Structure 1
């Protein structure tokens, strides 16, 4: 049995052993993720475990990096669109939450803290569209409804991306709890 199969069976045993009423209400995917939060809690409690200094790449997945590269290479793009995505500060706030991996180290609390951080990212992007609507309408030459629809699409895809790629102890540099290098 390989490690992935062992991990799945271990989760089945934990869940079937009555790990809590709240976990029983979670779907299978959420239960698998809670198991990863358990790994993070264990890594955080090990002797010598230390939180690394905070770092951010703006919006992960290359979103900020690609935007900056295009802005540097094409001055007209930079002048029209700016040097960074208009929602980049939302990503930095999200990174602060992801760096620590939640205040409460219990796996279920950590799971819900991550879900809350991801939802906050989505809402922040939507709030940027609402807050900056007049400027964005001028910049893009589009009505409010179009700006709102575009930002809603972006916010939802960002939410989907962080839900899929941000689980703790995944080995990815943008994972939940990435400030704990002991949890790969």
Structure 2
């Protein structure tokens, strides 16, 4: 997700001027990426399923917490209202959750899959 944010900033200069090159929730993405790299603490498939679900839910909650903590400041930066910023961030958090649930499946061959720090599943 951070890569997508950076690509938007590089592609559209206005995006970078308004939103900067790093999402306000960048730290949430780093923690989520670390969880995906490890892919859970055991090789047990059921435990891995629940560990991934927990990591994805924590990502959504972390991004949503940015709205609580920074809505006022971001509203000034984005020339908007705190309510609109909060609604937008919650919308983004939900879409991010959906994206990682679909796009982060283990054994998918994708470089961002669950457990990408380990050899591909066979």
TM-score normalized with structure 2 length: 0.89
Tell me the distance in 2 between the aligned counterparts of 1:176 and 1:77: 30
- What is residue 58 of structure 2 aligned with on the other side? 120
- What is residue 144 of structure 1 aligned with on the other side? 82
Tell me the distance in 1 between the aligned counterparts of 2:52 and 2:120: 19
Shift of 1:152: 0.8
SS in 2 for 1:115: helix
Q: Counterparts in 2 of 1:75-90, with a 5 A limit?
A: 76-90=14-28
User: How many residues are matched?
Assistant: 122
Tell me the distance in 2 between the aligned counterparts of 1:136 and 1:86: 9
Deviation per residue, 1:50-72 (Å, 9 max, x gap): xxxxxxxxx26x523323413xx
- What is residue 97 of structure 2 aligned with on the other side? 159
Runs of at least 5 residues in structure 1 that lack an aligned partner in the other structure = 1-58
Tell me the distance in 1 between the aligned counterparts of 2:34 and 2:21: 22
Tell me the distance in 2 between the aligned counterparts of 1:154 and 1:162: 12
Tell me the distance in 2 between the aligned counterparts of 1:139 and 1:182: 43
Tell me the distance in 2 between the aligned counterparts of 1:144 and 1:176: 34
- What is residue 66 of structure 1 aligned with on the other side? 7
Larger radius of gyration between Structure 1 and Structure 2: 1
Moved over 4 A (4+): none
Which residue of 101, 107, 112 maps to 2:45? 107
Tell me the distance in 1 between the aligned counterparts of 2:15 and 2:49: 39
Shift of 1:98: 0.1
SS in 2 for 1:97: helix
Tell me the distance in 1 between the aligned counterparts of 2:82 and 2:102: 30
TM-score normalized with structure 1 length: 0.61
Give yes or no for contact 1:67–1:85 (8 Å, CA) kept in 2: no
